[in-house]
Amino acid sequence: MARQPLGVLFGGKSNEYEVSLLSAAAVIPELDRAGIPRLALRADRDGRLFLFTGDAAAIAAGAAEEPAALVPASFTRGGVRLQNGETVPLSGVLPAVHGGMTEDGRLQGMLAWLAIPYAGSGAEACAVTMNKALTKTVLSSVGIPTAGGLALSVEDGADAIRRVEGTLPYPVFVKPARSGSSVGAGIARDRTELQARIADATATDRLVLFEPRIVGREIEVGVLSDENGRPAATPPGELFYDAG
């Protein structure tokens, strides 16, 4: 019996649409090399779903925008329904999406409602962790230390500069509190840069997170679970940002 394909979802209603294309262009060829059957599912900027039939390696180069490579589709219970009425069952969905409505629990809740397994955290965890300020509060409540900082809204206006400078030394990291980690995020080394970074962040979110610079090693650990919900941690990995 043929294995059901894995749906790789990318794009979507997010200001990190282009970041998602890069992820899909990296992930899908690896699945092909591993012999894992898959469907490339591209959501456009309005949230409309398509089956992408073009060259996966060229997704980030514009192939995902070619009408000839796009077949209208929609999610249905257990899989996707194509324009011709065919329903394709999915073994699961691998979200290669970033930011906004794709990582905040809404997508995950929809997939769970449709009985489609998916990779990643559940809707509740996604909803909490997408809000970086709320995540800090939750972690602190159980004794897990986090970087200091403060969250301010656009309603704080000009007072935001005073409050940030009264709380944190420069340089200050500025980022939208409820978005991804790339668009709208940046570092401010003085008041002029702080004003510019606030403008960038508030173009994405009305809530902005300000954090101090912490010099040290950056270690990441993934926590996975099996079909029975038993957790397991990956070996630690260190992140490097040097030019090499």
- Give tens-digit pLDDT for 107-154: 999 999 999 999 988 999 999 999 999 999 999 999 999 988 999 998
Q: Indicate if the pLDDT at residue 79 is higher than 70.
A: yes
Query: What is the model's pLDDT at position 244?
Result: 47
Question: What would the two tokens of residue 166 be?
Answer: 């009264």
Polymer length of the chain? 244
pTM: 0.83
Nearest alpha-carbon partner for 76 in 65, 64, 90, 66: 90
pLDDT digits (tens, 9 = 90+) for 49-73: 999 999 988 898 888 889 999 999 9
d(CA 231, CA 208): 32
Query: Rounded to an integer, what distance in angstroms lies between the CA atom of residue 123 and that of residue 19?
Result: 22
Question: At 54, which helix (H) or strand (E)?
Answer: none
Instruction: Please say if the pLDDT value at position 8 is more than 60.
Output: yes
9 pLDDT more than 50:
yes
Give per-residue pLDDT as tens, 165-220: 999 999 999 999 988 777 788 999 999 999 999 999 998 889 999 999 988 899 99
Query: At 100, is the secondary structure helix, strand, or coil?
Result: helix
Instruction: Report helix, strand or coil for 162.
Output: helix
- When comparing pLDDT for 89 and 147, which is higher? 89
User: CA-CA distances (angstroms) from residue 35 to 136, 158, 182?
Assistant: 40, 56, 32
Quick one: pLDDT at residue 200? 92
Domains belonging to the chain, first-starting first, are 6-129 (3.40.50.20), 132-212 (3.30.1490.20)
* SS3 assignment, position 75: strand
**pLDDT attached to residue 158:** 80
**DSSP letter string over 29-48?**
HHHHHTT--EEEEEE-TT--
Phi, psi of 97 (to 5 degrees): -110, 160
Dist CA 41 CA 27 (whole Å): 13
Which contacts of 114-118 are long-range, i.e. CB under 8 A and separated by 24 or more positions?
Answer: 114/75, 114/76, 114/77, 114/78, 115/77, 115/78, 116/7, 116/75, 116/77, 116/78, 116/79, 116/90, 116/92, 117/91, 117/92, 117/93, 118/92, 118/93, 118/94
* HSE of 205, CA atoms in CB hemisphere, 13 A: 29
Instruction: Report the pLDDT value the prediction gives residue 62, as an integer from 0 to 100.
Output: 86
The Cα–Cα gap between 188 and 192 comes to 8
Average pLDDT over residues 23-35: 95
